[in-house]
Structure 1
Amino acid sequence: MASRIRPEDWECPLSRAAQHVGEWWTLLLLHDAFDGYTRFDQFQENLGISSSMLTARLKTLVDDGLLERRPYQTNPVRHEYVLTELGRSLRPVIVALAAWGNARLAPEERSMVLVDAATGAEAEPVLVDRATGQRVDGPDFVFTAGPAASKPFQDRYAARPTPKRR
């Protein structure tokens, strides 16, 4: 079966990110890891995933550098799966996806909400530009070709501004 992703799309950061976290189980495993789960049996019990599927997903997350596999017991050898710095950097993505999902539900239909750990106040996450504090989800922010863009990407974004470093 032919791939639906064209080779020229691999330079797109969205395509590359989806390669790592685009599978349903992957996002759920990362969510569990953010909640402090580290052991195979914890992931399996919480997600109800088969051993073979869980083994494959965890191996991929380790191979991609999102989780680190570490022994926590020697006899018999048992391993735990701990988020790496790269894996932890995905937390805002998971938070944003959950917030997007919750925004489409009535408050009484939400099974999980993000709250301030100190106050319990429900949070409403937004993505903002670090330099200006402006939300980036509106028309004032657009994608444009970056320095490594191929000719097709340069053509696609030809009418957009050229990136300037701050």
Structure 2
Amino acid sequence: MSFTSQVTCSVQTIIGASRTFQFFFSEAFLGQHFEAVELEKNDPEPGDLFLFRLQSPTGRWCGAHVGVYCGHREIIHFEGKIPGSCGPHNFLGSWEGVVCKQGQGPMLRSRSLWRVLRRRGGINRTLLELRVREAMDTDPPPYHPTRNNCVHFALHLLGLDRNPNSASVDLKLSMG
């Protein structure tokens, strides 16, 4: 790998990680663009984000996995197919990306729900339907824990991946 591609890869990693961190900080904890929804009082709506707790091997909470409610009691999400041995190099590397659409009930039984978030002002449902269909019909990109993860996938489905007024803000880095 050349120096230029290493720098590009590092910048992409930093930008991707910062977008993920920014989403969790600004939305899951502060609610800037999304609001928490209590499922006991409301039915989920297409575009709602389901955040599931991720557990470390020692059983401690270490983050969240994000899926998007599609309607019809289905949630679409993106994850990496982890190779057999998961050492530090594999954890920081790219994995085969897998897009799954699962029933809401089985998903809630197999994962620990942390919270559900709904975009203030709503979402473009036509765009969501189009992007969900596209995600289901095409080969997914590689999964990377910082550059291309479930948060990036969810924000893309909602059309929030490049809008500067959305939950994902583009950072401009200059290397002078």
Q: Same fold (TM over 0.5)?
A: no
Larger Rg: 1
Q: What is the TM-score with the length of structure 2 in the denominator? A: 0.24
Q: Bigger relative contact order, structure 1 or 2, given CA contacts below 8 A and separation 6+?
A: 2
**Structure 1 or 2: larger strand share?**
2
